[in-house]
Amino acid sequence: MRTKHLIIGAVMVSLAVVEFGIARGIDLNASSAADAHSRSGAAAAPRASAPPPPAYDVAHLIKPSKKYFGVSLSGDPTDHGSVADYTEMAGKAPNVLTIFESFDDEFAASQARDAYRQGAIPMIRWEPFTPRLKDIAAGRYDEYITRFATSIRTVNVPTALTFAHEMNGGWYSWGATRNKASDYVAAWRHLHGLFEKAGATNVIWTWTPNVINPVPSVKLAPLYPGDKYVDWIGIDGYFTHRGRNSYDGLFGPTKEQVRDFTGKPFLIVETGAEPGSGRPGWIENLVEGVEDDDDMLGFVYFNQNGSAKWKIDKDAAAISALRDGGDSDAYGFTVR
């Protein structure tokens, strides 16, 4: 009887161990094999980890069949409630969401994921306020840059990246009045190389000058890193009472100068319209101008207040103009 009870008990224990292993996802056969291998005097071979998935292929997003309809929001730029509110106001879900990051920030991984989950591409505006461009080019920040690039690769969603935007102006520390064009180009190319080493090919490199109208003496060609290092030509430009306030007048001169040295596609990465009686017409002109321009991939509206009150949430006429344009089938698609 005792022998019988011992056998039954042993069977029950064995079944319990197997059940525990199944519940925990443990490969009992592999463990047994490793134990036997160890008893034979040989070290257990390490189990191979699964290779990472391939980097997201951004080719279909670099020049899509429809236009980008993007927005830059205040606060958390990818907050689901804020994006939903803008979608209701504009009549179309944005498929570009802007995320500002300082050059000492870690990559905004959770926000990039949130943007992608909402059908949008995150547009990272990477701003080197403190470091000098020539120090970036010389490799002084390589550890940080590699960590940033590796995080982008790990998150593995399509990510548009602008670095040191509006470099032809003098209002930023990285601007043309404080840096040589050659330092800017060297820094950009150095970043690009480190991202390639990290496997971060899920990045759309977006070289983004300001419209040339306020800085006509600064030529763009010396600041251009080269077609090998750029996917999109971004443009920043705002409709104001003091400047050129038609689509062709605001963006045309910059496009014309850029076309002297590259045929890469354009995207208006940042734009807005000053409040006043002219704003609805400017927004209408923007939306229609981009739609009719085969060379322009879309636009991102800066729906925040900063140097002016660009936010249109309480401007019914401006909202109507944006909605009318957004109704066009030319705009909007889900980023996947």
Instruction: Examine residue 287 and state whether it is found in any structural domain, yes or no.
Output: yes
Q: Do the beta carbons of residue 106 and residue 146 sit within 8 Å?
A: no
Residue of 152, 163, 40, 44 whose CA lies nearest to 100: 163
Tell me, what amino acid is at 158? P
Query: Do 263 and 309 share a structural domain?
Result: yes
Query: Do 143 and 32 share a structural domain?
Result: no
Query: Do 76 and 35 share a structural domain?
Result: no
- Alpha-helical runs (H) found in the chain: 2-24, 28-39, 59-62, 80-90, 109-117, 133-137, 142-155, 181-197, 247-258, 279-292, 316-326
Query: Do 68 and 29 share a structural domain?
Result: no
Nearest-angstrom CA–CA distance, 116 and 122: 7
* Count of positions (residues) in the chain: 336
Per the structure, the complete domain to which residue 116 belongs is given by: 59-326
Query: Do 26 and 95 share a structural domain?
Result: no
Query: Do 110 and 19 share a structural domain?
Result: no
Residue pLDDT, tens place only, 128-160: 999 999 999 999 999 999 999 999 999 999 999
Instruction: Examine residue 333 and state whether it is found in any structural domain, yes or no.
Output: no
Tell me how many domains the chain contains. 2
Instruction: Examine residue 96 and state whether it is found in any structural domain, yes or no.
Output: yes
Instruction: Examine residue 302 and state whether it is found in any structural domain, yes or no.
Output: yes
Compute and round to an integer the Cα radius of gyration of the chain: 27
Q: Is the pLDDT assigned to residue 15 strictly greater than 50?
A: no
Instruction: Examine residue 335 and state whether it is found in any structural domain, yes or no.
Output: no
Q: What share of the chain has pLDDT > 70, as a percent?
A: 86
Instruction: Examine residue 269 and state whether it is found in any structural domain, yes or no.
Output: yes
Q: Is the pLDDT assigned to residue 24 strictly greater than 70?
A: no
Instruction: Examine residue 230 and state whether it is found in any structural domain, yes or no.
Output: yes
Tell me, what amino acid is at 139? G
Residue pLDDT, tens place only, 41-73: 444 455 667 788 999 999 999 999 999 999 999
Query: Do 23 and 124 share a structural domain?
Result: no
Q: Is the pLDDT assigned to residue 36 strictly greater than 90?
A: no
Please give the torsion angle defined by the CA atoms of residues 220, 225, 227 and 231, in that order, rounded to the nearest 10 degrees. Answer: -90
pLDDT band of 20, cuts 50, 70, 90 = very low
Q: Do the beta carbons of residue 99 and residue 49 sit within 8 Å?
A: no
Q: Is the pLDDT assigned to residue 84 strictly greater than 60?
A: yes
Instruction: Examine residue 322 and state whether it is found in any structural domain, yes or no.
Output: yes
- pTM of the prediction? 0.85
Least confident of 27-36, 57-66, 78-87, 207-216: 27-36
Mean predicted confidence (pLDDT) in 172-181: 96
Query: Do 212 and 89 share a structural domain?
Result: yes
Query: Do 109 and 12 share a structural domain?
Result: no
Q: Do the beta carbons of residue 183 and residue 164 sit within 8 Å?
A: no
Query: Do 64 and 32 share a structural domain?
Result: no
Q: What share of the chain has pLDDT > 90, as a percent?
A: 82
Q: Do the beta carbons of residue 279 and residue 312 sit within 8 Å?
A: yes
Q: What is the pLDDT of residue 111?
A: 98
Helix (H, G, I), strand (E, B) or coil at 79: coil
Nearest-angstrom CA–CA distance, 229 and 233: 11
The better pLDDT of the pair 271, 243 is held by 271
Query: Do 67 and 22 share a structural domain?
Result: no
Q: Domain containing 168 — which CATH number?
A: 3.20.20.80
Q: What is the pLDDT of residue 327?
A: 86
Query: Do 67 and 9 share a structural domain?
Result: no
Average pLDDT across the chain, whole number: 88
Nearest-angstrom CA–CA distance, 131 and 143: 14
